[in-house]
Chain A
């Protein structure tokens, strides 16, 4: 059993290390003013937190975090950065205190809420006594998908997932219209203006 306990200790240490890295990156993001550095650091933040999710055994959440947080949103942030400036404005003193207080209050409320949670792996918790047991027993005989989460998402809750896909499609359409595709999109307009002004500069120079 000592080997198992040693592995547990190592996992605890890894969790603490990953959380420390997340803390350092978050502080740096809050303090930096260069938007490019912030985009890069938020990519790091997503990747580290995805790893932490894997260590916590939430592999599906970790997949989403890695693909969306580290992959797509870095690209989207860069696309948005072209439309704005490269550095953020310096903040005034009062605006720095108020968000800190809000965050501390929210964190205290969340920690207070964890007191009422059932213990990890508790057999008498609502998740293990209510409808969850029913799903675990009936999923495989009914639709023969070994992963219960997939079965619930794609079959039992299929219409809900269809609606979610519609929402995500609309959001993606809005973002591409703003940033990317087509002659009249905001990104294309900014690029065209850039090109015209640089052409004018070239003519002036010659």
Chain B
């Protein structure tokens, strides 16, 4: 059962990889990277159960945090071209 989940996740990762490689626009690639990160996190949990060590779940939770923060960083970077701007700032380039 867990093996089937692992196979499904690998197929999903392959699809995300195709999108990340070919993705015509920037946002296709950002979305593919974010979603591939999620699949990797799930795969990590599945590997933990395959090897009989469910404590891998802790590691995958940490990966989820890193994945989220880096996606926010990439998107913020493309909105403001800088990391120093606070996300709530209004004005040039920001939400009007």
Interface residues in chain A, defined as those with a beta carbon under 8 Å from any beta carbon in chain B: 7, 10-11, 14, 17, 21, 24-25, 28, 36-37, 40-41, 43-44, 47-48, 50-51, 54-55, 59, 62-63, 66-67, 70-71, 74-75, 78-79, 82, 180-181, 187, 191, 194
By the criterion CB–CB under 8 Å, are B20 and A54 in contact? no
By the criterion CB–CB under 8 Å, are A50 and B81 in contact? no
By the criterion CB–CB under 8 Å, are A54 and B84 in contact? no
Interface residues in chain B, defined as those with a beta carbon under 8 Å from any beta carbon in chain A: 3, 6, 10, 13-14, 17, 20-21, 23, 26, 29-30, 32-33, 36-37, 40, 43-44, 47, 50-52, 56, 59, 62-63, 66-67, 69-70, 73-74, 77, 81-84
By the criterion CB–CB under 8 Å, are A44 and B44 in contact? no
Please name 10 pairs of A and B residues whose Cβ atoms are closer than 8 Å in the assembled complex, sorted by A: A14-B50, A24-B17, A37-B23, A41-B20, A47-B63, A51-B40, A66-B63, A74-B74, A75-B74, A181-B84
Q: In the assembled complex, how far is the CB of residue B76 from the closest CB belonging to chain A, in whole angstroms? A: 10
Whether A48 touches B51, Cβ cut-off 8 Å, given contacts A10-B6, A14-B6, is: no
A148–B20 Cα gap in the complex (Å)? 40
Q: In the assembled complex, how far is the CB of residue A121 from the closest CB belonging to chain B, in whole angstroms? A: 15
Q: In the assembled complex, how far is the CB of residue B9 from the closest CB belonging to chain A, in whole angstroms? A: 10
The A interface is mostly helix, strand or loop, or mixed, namely: helix
Instruction: Select one of B13, B43, B70 contacting A70, CB under 8 A.
Output: B70
Whether A41 touches B63, Cβ cut-off 8 Å, given contacts A48-B40, A180-B84, A191-B82, is: no
By the criterion CB–CB under 8 Å, are B17 and A25 in contact? yes
Instruction: Select one of A10, A41, A55, A70 contacting B3, CB under 8 A.
Output: A10
Closest residue on chain A to residue B81 by CB atoms = A82
Further 8 A-B residue pairs, CB within 8 A, beyond A40-B29, A51-B47, A66-B63: A7-B52, A10-B6, A11-B51, A43-B70, A47-B40, A66-B62, A66-B66, A71-B66
List of B residues within 8 angstroms of A62 by Cβ: 59
List of B residues within 8 angstroms of A21 by Cβ: 13-14, 17
By the criterion CB–CB under 8 Å, are B6 and A36 in contact? no
A36–B50 Cα gap in the complex (Å)? 36
Q: In the assembled complex, how far is the CB of residue B8 from the closest CB belonging to chain A, in whole angstroms? A: 12
A59–B56 Cα gap in the complex (Å)? 9
A79–B73 Cα gap in the complex (Å)? 11
Closest residue on chain B to residue A50 by CB atoms = B63
List of A residues within 8 angstroms of B63 by Cβ: 47, 50, 66
